[in-house]
A and B are shown apart, each in its own frame.
Chain A
């Protein structure tokens, strides 16, 4: 091979010192001892080169593409001092059983140094159903906390001053109801809404794409989201109205590039929705936040976070003409990858989570959830949650990685990989744009198909041993006894049903009926719904009553035929 040459991805290597090195140093070395016979690819199948040198950064401009931290395009991070100024928020997602059970876990986490709350709701709540619904059978309080009415929400946050903590709520299709309940609890605590800080996931597009917890079709769902954005912009200005989530897309089996592309494309659709309501982009865009997965391929993840910030900044400036720097900033939460953990030899998961946490931190995340070692077996036990939180504390306060801003900035490899992921993701976004944007793309099943294909490919690679999963397809000896698991007792369901019945019989019927009637009527017209939803929850209308009441106006979503 002469100096320079063609590489696997079609780009050419400029002749120079590297060519000479390949000729005089590398070639004889390979002749003597070839490389290991494995595919050098990321977990997402992106090919990785043997070596990265300045030649790999052709066309890359440090000033334009990297810049300095706290400045556009924010590749090096959102803040000039990053973790020297303030560590990321350590936010462990928690929720199970009754509101009382979860309230106890919240107090436990706050006492152990956690700095923000994050609420997991059970499946019936996530689907807008009450604990006494037929489809809720066996699911009440299992995967998260069961919330039926305002009374449960009052119990959930009992003794927690909402003016002083920031709260994240992972809920989507019925997000408008749960947000209204949170606001009503704040009112009862005497906390002005302007002081509330937190995030509601409220990302319905990724539900159609990946997580599949929907109620209404895309169009009315986007209307509700528009209503919430408009309401919060006026009344709850510090609230993050959508957490645009790649996490679930990745868990459903996407590649890192697909996660990046589909998440940003969802973000673009929400900005369009806000603008369609006549809101100026700079009034609401600063309150959009993101939520990415932190998977096991260390550098691919770091590059993904860096690329995401750069891409979002440019989209906001170039596509939407945003003027406020806060609109340009992609703020993100990260969670380590549940799907990367194994039921086999579960203690190994602590090591996986450490690598993933480190990737999120080196990628510049604003907050982080670290998964617990027993999550492939059951909801995490108190002990495993503590280990997960301790993992973050060790990364933050022992490892030294927080001493400097963006320690990997300028690495030939990291910069080249960041640019490569950006390029590939932009190509995918262009395909979505060509389909008319994310809503039509979803209706045509485009992202769903791409993800299913990637998930199947990865499973095949595990089955054939092309990719390694320690304890699963290699090094399988040494499966110890399973760790002690958290059990959710069946009584939760009964207790929750009785509480709901009691609230329904106790509440002011006239006030409830009136609030519901106004809501149903308003849903047929363009009136903003949030104030009416607030009235309904104050009257102790249940999650299901409210979600169900809007169905005549909004319709019900059904997934089209799923291709295998």
Chain B
């Protein structure tokens, strides 16, 4: 990433697909767009459990986790990941996500600690901008 701007070069992100959901079009597009914007991006691939996501996030020492869920299981999977992060001392990792998520549920997720929820139709530029302003490099 030699062309990456210095301000974002140190921000590391995990883009993940959690649960059985195989819809990876959005996750791959977002992962690639974030990478092209200069972030370091690790894409988990499909069918990850919450435990696997948290393990990977800690191993890779990321600053933010972006999760894509199109299966309707968001109210189960996001909170589980947040509580696992907390239990393992990773609560300062910023968690955000996207998918088929009704407004009501998005509000509930934000209350639970998901920092942003992006629904279909979001421009990749908006996600990049949000990450730039909301995902600071963690103190290491």
- Chain A residues in the interface with B (C-beta under 8 A): 123-124, 126-127, 129, 134-139, 142-143, 207, 211-213, 251-253, 339, 341-344, 376-379, 452, 455-456, 459-460, 462-463, 469, 471-473, 482, 485, 488, 559, 561-562, 564
Contact = CB atoms under 8 A, between A and B. Distances in A.
Contact of B125 (A136, A138, A142, A463): A463
B120 A343 contact: yes
A459 B124 contact: yes
Nearest to A455: B25
* Those 9 A-B pairs whose CB atoms lie nearest each other, nearest first: A138-B76, A212-B22, A138-B73, A142-B72, A123-B20, A472-B121, A564-B32, A343-B120, A139-B73
B102 A488 contact: no
A207 B22 CA distance: 9
B36 to A, nearest CB: 9
Contacts of A126: 20
Nearest to B15: A564
Contacts of A459: 29, 33, 124
Contacts of A139: 19-21, 71-73, 76
Contact of B20 (A136, A377, A378, A452): A136
29 contacts: A123-B19, A123-B21, A123-B73, A126-B20, A135-B19, A135-B20, A135-B47, A137-B73, A137-B77, A138-B73, A139-B72, A139-B73, A143-B71, A211-B22, A212-B24, A212-B46, A252-B25, A342-B121, A376-B121, A377-B100, A459-B29, A459-B33, A462-B123, A472-B121, A473-B123, A482-B102, A488-B72, A564-B35, A564-B41
A343 B121 contact: yes
A251 B100 CA distance: 15
Contacts of B24: 212, 252, 562
A456 B24 CA distance: 12
A415 to B, nearest CB: 33
A72 B19 CA distance: 46
Contacts of A136: 20
A436 B80 CA distance: 44
A378 B100 contact: yes
B121 A463 contact: no
B83 interface: no
Interface string B88-131: 00000000000010110000000000000001110111000000
A385 B118 CA distance: 25
B31 interface: yes
Majority SS at the chain A contact face: loop
B20 to A, nearest CB: 4
A455 B124 CA distance: 13
A124 B21 CA distance: 9
Contacts of A379: 72
A498 to B, nearest CB: 18
Nearest to B101: A377
Contact of A143 (B28, B72, B125): B72
A124 B22 CA distance: 12
Contacts of A123: 19-21, 71, 73
Nearest to A452: B28
Contacts of B29: 253, 455-456, 459
A562 B75 contact: no
Interface string B36-54: 0000010101110100000
Contacts of A564: 28, 31-32, 35, 41, 43
Given A207-B22, A376-B119, A463-B125, 8 more contacts: A123-B20, A123-B73, A137-B73, A139-B76, A212-B22, A378-B72, A456-B32, A562-B28
